[in-house]
Structure 1
Amino acid sequence: MTNPSTHIPATPGCGRAPAPASIVAAGAVCLAVIMGIGRFAYTSILPLMIAEGALDLAYGSTLASANYLGYLLGALGCVLIPNHWSSARLVRWSLVATVLLTAGMMLPLPGLWLGLRFLSGAVSGLALVHTSRWCLGAVARQGRAALGSAMFTGVGLGIGVSGLVASAMIAAHWTWVAAWGGFTLTAALLLALVWRLVDPATEFRPAPAVRVRTRGHRLPRVDLQLSLFTLAYGLAGFGYIITATYLPVIARSALPPSVWLDLFWPIYGLAAAIGSLAVTRLHGRFETRALLVLCHLMQATGVMLSTIWPSLPGFVLGAVIAGLPFTALNFLAMDEAARLQPHRTAQFIGLLTAAFAIGQIFGPPLVQVIMHHVTDPGFGFDLSLRIAGGALVVASGLYILLRRRYR
């Protein structure tokens, strides 16, 4: 199966496009900064901030929710951005904003953190959509569509490396302020590395959609298909977010003190990077929606495994199984979005990302409500994870329905 985005008519920019491998590498670095640092470095630093009394779990959950709300609005903003705007230029300035917002978290002003995490989420939502649009469109038009999924290794590698760095910082007795400073410097260096590759002058712009007149018959309706697809993707956002926000904290509540407690999150991220590479080999050999079903069932298994097997091997295996499909399903959903809406891909991806963000927003409040009504934090986390895993199973069922009804 070829990527449908290869059939999108486009108008090239005035410059010479970089090689596909360079484009994908740059896209991966952008996502490592925007998602791995801008969004998920917080997961690694949260236990340190709680331990040093900078905040408690309740306020930490509030900051997480603010970030996810910002992510929602950033993604919704993509629906309003004109189709002819340069994705490369938007990505460049999103990288700059990520560096500045990460630096702002060094300030010991808890009231300010709420706004910073909200803005960081908004930047992440916008930048994920437009990094995908720029990178996937560029490689598809050079005949290397399947290579595009390797871009999503940036998210996994960003999570994995940031988690390992945070673990090293904790072992070296760095303060949470120093930890945020280290991530700021890393983001700034990576920004300088890819600035020239993310070049608006070499960007391909989509041509205006061709209006189709029909006589004697109506075009098939796709509204229900798009709605079900969007709902399934939104459930995936809810299904993964409790693990993505609290995994180091959950491990500390379930296991005795160990060096492993700070390694489950990096393992999750590195597994995600491997999954992104693996899907480049599977994409085209199997139907996209069949792969989405597999990814959601795998992630459901990984999310709930620690509740069934609350041990060191259980957490390691759960992190691997949940991590492998983490970014692979993002690529698969965006690839399907390009097929379903070839002339409004960025807008539809923005809508999908918004649904994903809505799902994420419900995660931390659910944990807060459950924790308020239980006396055992371990039981509270287990219940939260089982609900999340159930949402992923429902999402896989929706993709099965889509496969049978819309071929």
Structure 2
Amino acid sequence: MTAATRPNPWLILLGLSLGVLVTNGFGRFAYGLILPAMRADLGWTYAQAGWLNTANALGYILGAIGTMIALRRVSPNLLFAIGLVGTALAILATGLIPALWWQSLWRFVTGLTGALSFATAGALAARLFADNPKRNALGIAILFGSGGGTAIMLVGATLPPLLATQGNAAWPWTWVLVGSLSLLCVPLGLWAARASRGPSHSGTVMMPLPIRRMLPELMGYAGFGLGYIVYLTFLSAFMAEQSASTVQVVLVWVLLGACITVSPFLWRGIFARHHGGIPLAMVLTGIALGSALPVLWPGSLGLVISAFVFGGSVFMAPPAITNFSRKNLPPDSWAAGMSLFTVVFAVAQTVGPYAAGLLGDLAGSIGISLLAAAGVLLFGAAAALFQRPL
């Protein structure tokens, strides 16, 4: 393929970002906005609400492990495509039946298929600008930041007003709406998967990953998985406890999504300069501060600043470990390295929502869970500081 006929890498990046928008933004984080209506309509406890995100995380574990195994025979391009289509259909199915077993099933499938795309998207994006470190760092950050941030802005601006006007019983239609938007993203995402240059699998033997030397970064990413999901799962529930208005909920979530979208431009220089664990440690510290602020600084101003800080940091953890993998592992091991980080992240993420929900039930407020999550994130940041370039 000549330079004249090669697809524009930025257009490919856009398609890959739509995959992240569906699998990470719609598939995982729309639940946090729909959760208060589901709890009110179905009479769930916080623990039951947290269980659904735990079911999602269990699927994510299976998907991440399956990705690691499948990469020995299947290209990351195909896995990305399968994950994108599967997630869009699973989101749509979530709104069809309200029973807890049905909701658990499709949250599980959403996690399973989402992991296929998320674990491979970074490896595909890392090859778009392989010869330009600054563009490479920016491209990877945009992949995770713009896709997830745009999704949060879309659902944040539409779902709370819809539920406020139609009532809590209308929550199934919000899943149908999000699923339909996901299906609209599929064509360009599939084209990008086909156009991206994945590694060849014709007899290539990947070098084993230096897991022992990667332990600080892996521990830091485990802290990220355990801690970050509490905020995005229970933020709207916490605001409901504080009797926040629909306008306040919309403002905070749209601001959160906007900050996530622009965050790649804030962090690209840090990712380009560092080869060790400093970027992840800085990101986790920002997420911890954003998680604790709504509780430590009650009121609208605390929530707004929390959205700025959390949104400016949260989606930069995946780019941090993607850049770490790209700079410290051979190209044929990038997808495997990302899959390993995704497995660690998924295992940790499984515990977070249910434990946070149970703690919120015991304390009578979900605010204590936000503080506990901040402590876990700070522990992860401390661990990441010990990571040296390989």
The verdict on a shared fold, with TM-score over 0.5 as the criterion, is: yes
- Note if contact 2:36-2:240 (Cα within 8 Å) is conserved in structure 1: no
Could you tell me how far apart the structure 2 residues matched to 1:141 and 1:17 are? 16
**Residue in 1 aligned with 2:156?**
163
2:199 paired residue number: 205
Residues 47 and 355, structure 2, Cα contact 8 Å, conserved in 1: no
Match of 1:308 among 281, 296, 302: 296
In 1, Cα distance between the equivalents of 2:257 and 2:72? 32
- Structure 2 residue 288 is matched with structure 1 residue 295: no
How far has the Cα of 1:347 moved from its partner? 1.6
Residue matched to 2:94: 105
Q: How many Å separate the matches in 2 of 1:190 and 1:128?
A: 15
In structure 2, distance between residues paired with 1:49 and 1:223: 41
| Alignment match, 1:187 | 182
- 1:281–1:81 CA distance, 2 compared to 1 (3 A): same
Q: Aligned pair in 2 of structure 1 residues 325, 312: CA closer, same or farther (>3 Å)?
A: same
Instruction: Look up the SS of the partner of 1:166 in the other structure.
Output: helix
Give 1 or 2 for the bigger CA radius of gyration: 1
Superposed CA deviations along residues 13-55 of structure 1, whole A, max 9, x for unmatched, are 9x95421211211111111111111221111111122233374
Deviation, structure 1 residue 135: 2.0
Q: Provide the residue aligned with 2:344 in structure 1.
A: 355
Deviation at 1:249, TM superposition (A): 0.4
Q: Which residue of 2 aligns with 1:9?
A: none
**In structure 1, C-alpha distance between the alignment counterparts of 2:80 and 2:206, rounded to whole Å:** 28
Q: CA deviation at 1:371?
A: 3.2
Distance 1:329 1:245 in 2: 17
Do the aligned partners of residues 250 and 223 (structure 1) sit closer, same or farther apart at CA in structure 2, a change above 3 Å counting? same
1:83–1:344 contact (8 Å) kept in structure 2? no
Alpha carbons 1:302, 1:318 under 8 Å: kept = yes
Q: Over aligned residue pairs, what C-alpha RMSD do you find?
A: 2.6
Rounded to whole Å, the distance in 2 between the matches of 1:390 and 1:360 is: 15
SS at match of 1:204: coil
Amino acid paired to 1:337: S
Q: 1:122 to 1:211 in 2, by over 3 A?
A: closer
Aligned in 2, Cα 1:394/1:140: closer, same or farther, shift over 3 Å? same
Instruction: Give the corresponding residue for 1:317.
Output: 305
Structure 1 match to 2:378: 393
1:198 positional shift: 2.4
Partner of 1:224: 212
Give ranges in structure 1 of 5+ residues lacking alignment: 1-11, 213-220
- Given candidates 119, 125, 132, the residue that maps to 1:129 is 119
Q: Which amino acid aligns with 1:296?
A: L
TM-aligned CA deviation for residue 67 of structure 1: 0.3
Amino acid in the other structure paired with 2:382: G
Q: Is the 8 A contact 2:47 2:361 kept in 1?
A: no
Match of 1:275 among 263, 269, 272: 263
- Which amino acid in structure 1 is aligned with residue 336 of structure 2? Q
Matched AA of 2:163: I
2:197 maps to a residue whose letter is E
Would you say the 8 A contact 2:82–2:117 is kept in 1? no
SS in 1 for 2:192: coil
Matched, 1:145 2:139: no
Measured in 2, the distance between the counterparts of 1:387 and 1:16 equals 52
Structure 2 unaligned spans of 5+: none
Equivalent of 1:240, from 215, 228, 248? 228
Q: Does 1:382 align with 2:367?
A: yes
Cα 1:78–1:210 shift into 2, 3 Å? closer
1:122 positional shift: 0.9
1:21 and 2:10 matched: yes
Q: How has the CA–CA distance of structure 1 residues 283 and 348 changed in structure 2, closer, same or farther, with 3 Å as cutoff?
A: closer
1:264-317 CA-partner distances (Å, limit 9, x unpaired): 233222211211232234432455532222211111111111121111100111
- Does the Cα contact within 8 Å between 2:220 and 2:380 map onto a contact in 1? yes
TM-score by length of 1: 0.85
What is the rounded CA distance, in whole Å, between the counterparts of 2:386 and 2:51 in structure 1? 35
| Structure 2 residue matching 1:402: 3-state secondary structure | coil
Are the counterparts in 2 of residues 37 and 159 from structure 1 also a CA contact under 8 Å? yes
Q: CA separation of 1:209/1:86 partners in 2, compared to 1, >3 Å: closer, same or farther?
A: closer
- Correspondence 1:75 to 2:69: no
Q: In structure 2, what is the Cα distance between the partners aligned to 1:145 and 1:116?
A: 35
Normalising by structure 2, report the TM-score.
0.89
Q: Is the 8 A contact 1:36 1:159 kept in 2?
A: yes
Alpha-carbon deviation of 1:80? Answer: 0.8
Partner of 2:359: 370
Instruction: Specify the SS of the correspondent of 1:195.
Output: helix
Residue of structure 2 equivalent to 1:32: 21
Tell which deviates more after alignment, 284-293 or 266-275. 284-293
Whether the 8 Å CA contact 1:17–1:203 is kept in 2: the answer is no
